[in-house]
C-alpha cells in the first residue's frame, strides 16, 4: 500500500510539473517606433544575451499553501527583446548588418512578473532590466534601463493580467531606450 501511495504521489507531481501551451505567457514587448529617421543608413551588428538567473518569465507565490509555480514565455525571451530593439533602431534609420565594426549588444538582465496570490486578492509586480552596450573601434557606451510596474485585483490573477504587466513594463523600458538622447547621440557620432 505504501508503494502504491508513493507511485500515485510521483505521478501526480509529474503531471503537475508538465507545462502545457495554456500555461505559457505571451511575451510581446512593443517597440517605440520613430516617426522620422534620425540617421540615414548607419550600420551596426546586433547581438543579444539572456543573462537572467532563472529562465521563467513569471512566478506565482501562493500565500496559503507556500507553493511556488514558475511560468515560462511562449516566445524565446532573448529573441523577443532583440527583435523589439531592432525595430526601434531600424525606424530611426539605422541598418543592421552581420559584420560591422559597430556592435549593439542587448543583455536581458531581468524580466519577471511576481504574482502574490492570497485567498481573495492578488498583486503582480513586474520588473524588466535591459543593458545596452554600443561598441565601436573608438570606445563603448553602456547603459542599463530598468522599468517596474504592478497591478492588483480581487480573487485570482490570470494569464491576461500577468501578460499585461510584463508587456507594459517591457514596453516602458523599450521606450526609455528609444528616447535616450545619450544613446542616440553616441550612435550618430560614432557609427
Question: Is the pLDDT assigned to residue 5 strictly greater than 90?
Answer: no
Is CATH 3.40.50.10610 the right assignment for the domain spanning 40-190?
yes
Q: What is the DSSP letter of 84?
A: H
Burial 55-88 (b: 16+ CB within 10 A, else e): ebbbbbeeeeeeeebebbbebebbebbbbbbbbb
In the predicted model, what is the mean pLDDT of residues 15-44?
A: 79
Q: What is the pLDDT of residues 41-91, one digit of tens each?
A: 899 999 999 999 999 999 999 876 677 899 999 999 999 999 999 999 999
Amino acid at each position: 500500500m505504501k508503494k502504491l501511495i508513493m507511485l500515485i504521489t510521483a505521478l501526480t507531481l509529474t503531471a503537475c510539473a508538465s507545462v502545457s501551451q495554456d500555461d505559457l505567457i505571451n511575451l510581446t514587448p512593443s517597440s517605440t517606433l520613430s516617426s522620422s529617421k534620425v540617421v540615414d543608413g548607419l550600420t551596426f551588428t546586433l547581438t543579444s544575451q539572456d543573462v537572467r538567473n532563472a529562465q521563467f518569465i513569471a512566478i506565482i507565490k501562493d500565500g496559503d499553501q507556500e507553493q511556488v509555480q514558475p511560468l515560462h514565455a511562449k516566445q524565446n525571451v532573448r529573441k523577443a527583446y532583440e527583435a523589439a530593439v531592432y525595430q526601434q533602431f531600424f525606424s530611426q534609420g539605422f541598418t543592421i548588418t552581420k559584420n560591422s565594426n559597430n556592435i549593439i549588444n542587448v543583455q536581458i538582465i531581468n524580466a519577471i512578473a511576481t504574482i502574490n496570490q492570497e485567498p481573495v486578492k492578488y498583486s503582480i509586480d513586474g520588473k524588466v532590466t535591459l543593458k545596452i552596450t554600443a561598441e565601436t573601434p573608438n570606445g563603448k557606451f553602456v547603459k542599463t534601463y530598468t522599468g517596474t510596474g504592478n497591478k492588483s485585483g480581487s480573487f485570482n490573477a490570470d494569464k491576461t493580467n500577468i501578460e499585461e504587466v510584463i508587456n507594459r513594463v517591457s514596453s516602458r523600458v523599450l521606450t526609455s531606450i528609444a528616447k535616450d538622447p545619450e544613446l542616440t547621440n553616441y550612435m550618430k557620432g560614432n557609427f
